[in-house]
Structure 1
Amino acid sequence: MSGLLMVEDDDALAAALRTLLAQDGHDVVRAPNGREGLRLLFARRPDLLLLDTTLPALDGWQVLERTRDLTDLPVLLMTPAGAPADRVRGLRAGADDCLSKPFDHQELLARVDALLRRTDGAHWATQATGTELHLVPERRSAVWHGGEVRLSALEYDLLQTLVRNRGRVVTTEQLLTRVWGAAEDTGRGRVKFAVHRVRRKLQAAGPPGVAVPVESVRGMGYRYRVP
């Protein structure tokens, strides 16, 4: 049984979705606002986050940003009707999928099941990612073989993006969009140089002869290699 956290302030919609998801075999916990959503995220560590963007206390965008500092668990974002720009914003901010309200309930179930099938369990910032790498979001740094690696904000975002997509190639264009925010304004050489800086810092912190887990894939992009 998969554990789902639903952050939704509409009581009627939340009740209907909770019943629907429970009937599909999911254990659902609901938070009515963003602040409670983050509290339950820490406490429950769910398998998937179902997140509304329009929330009291903290909105969905703030919850998504904080979530991505902590974990790579799948996030399905629920956006208002008639707001296609929110879908683009959500995907760029780290959501794995987006649905615009009102949506078909069977489509929601299908998307939830698809996201859960594509993941092999969420990694959290307080857990080891791979064998010896830990991300430390509160200091925007990493721990590699017991040594702390100080990173700039950009370097941390770059490493976090690669770790979040561990085992998969992230293209240079995707990194430009997700880390720098505007691919057309940034040269591809900056990505190469930033990756080189991250690799050099990890190499300096690790034991001699141990390969760093960030690698380039010729003609495609970069990948965090799962040990």
Structure 2
Amino acid sequence: MTRILLVEDDADLATALRALLGRAGHEVLHAPDGREALRRLFADRPDLMVLDIGLPELDGWQVLERTRDLTDLPVLLLTARGAEADRVRGLRAGADDYLPKPFGQEELLARIEALLRRSRPAGWAADRLDTALHLVPERRTALWHGVEVRLSDIEYRLIQTLVRNRGRVVTTDQLLVQVWDGPAGVGRERVKFAVLRVRRKLQQAGGRDSHDVIEAVRGLGYRYRGEGRNPTT
């Protein structure tokens, strides 16, 4: 049974969501504030977090930041703050999805199912996809010039999709379908921010001599162009 940590300070909404998620076959852990959320995160090791932003003690932004310091646990932000600036902030901070209130029950369940599906190993064998890059699916990591790079599930699927299409442009819409499974309401900015995170991680691992291997093709999407040099030479 999948274990979901629900972080919500509205008691009535929390009760309704626990019933909804329970009927869908999930075990639901509830935290009414940010400090309790972090405690349960450590103690119970959930499979996914549904996180409100407006929380007592620690707000949702602080909880998300501390969660991302510890784990690549899928996080769905569920909040009344539906402004574009809040959605952008959430995605940049590492949230995997963002659903403004009010929301439909079926949409919430579909988004949770998509996140959980993506959090499982994709089943592709580990192989060397480039002279400098080796993906390790069982650990959801990459070896970049021999240095291990920790990736979230989304980041792993993103780099894997781009590298397997090396030299070809993968459009933003194609990435939304192949990496995010094309859930309703997902904005194109999500792809941009995920690419920026992957670029930053590879550059940090490769050091000053590491080239930017993901090329943005204006108006279309992204292309993996490879390191262009063999790390063994």
Shorter-chain TM-score: what band? 0.5 to 0.7
Inter-CA distance 221–25: structure 2 relative to 1 (3 Å threshold)? farther
**Equivalent of residue 156 in structure 2, options 163, 166, 175:** 166
The number of aligned residues is 173
In structure 2, give the amino acid aligned to 1:98: Y
Q: Distance in 2 between matches of 1:82 and 1:173?
A: 20
Runs of 4 or more consecutive aligned structure 1 residues displaced over 6 Å after TM superposition: none
Residue segments in structure 2 that go unaligned for 5+ positions in a row:
122-134, 163-190, 216-222, 228-233
- Provide the residue aligned with 2:111 in structure 1: 111
Q: What SS does the aligned partner of 1:166 have?
A: helix
Q: Distance in 2 between matches of 1:119 and 1:192?
A: 21
User: Normalising by the residue count of structure 2, what TM-score does the alignment of the two structures yield?
Assistant: 0.61
User: Normalising by the residue count of structure 1, what TM-score does the alignment of the two structures yield?
Assistant: 0.62
**Equivalent of residue 206 in structure 2, options 196, 203, 208:** 196
List per-residue Cα deviations over 1:169-202 (Å, max 9, x = no partner).
18896467448xxxxxxxx9x98754421899xx
In structure 2, give the amino acid aligned to 1:196: G
8 Å CA contact retained: 1:92, 1:177: no
8 Å CA contact retained: 2:5, 2:49: yes
Residue 78 (1) aligns with residue 78 (2): yes
- Provide the residue aligned with 1:210 in structure 2: none
Identity of aligned residues (%): 52
- Provide the residue aligned with 2:224 in structure 1: 220
Q: What SS does the aligned partner of 1:169 have?
A: helix
- Quote the offset at 1:94 in angstroms: 0.6
Residue 48 (1) aligns with residue 48 (2): yes
8 Å CA contact retained: 1:81, 1:102: no
List per-residue Cα deviations over 1:131-167 (Å, max 9, x = no partner).
9x9x9xxxxxxxxx9xxx9xxxxxx9xx445787235
List per-residue Cα deviations over 1:27-65 (Å, max 9, x = no partner).
000000000000000111111100001101111011111
In structure 2, give the amino acid aligned to 1:169: I
Paired residues for 1:137-216 under 5 Å: 159-161=149-151, 165-166=155-156, 168-169=158-159, 174=193, 177-178=196-197, 194-197=204-207
Residue segments in structure 1 that go unaligned for 5+ positions in a row:
122-128, 136-144, 150-155, 180-187, 201-214
- Provide the residue aligned with 1:25 in structure 2: 25
Q: Distance in 1 between matches of 2:155 and 2:89?
A: 19
Residue 38 (1) aligns with residue 14 (2): no
- Superposed CA RMSD in Å reads 4.0
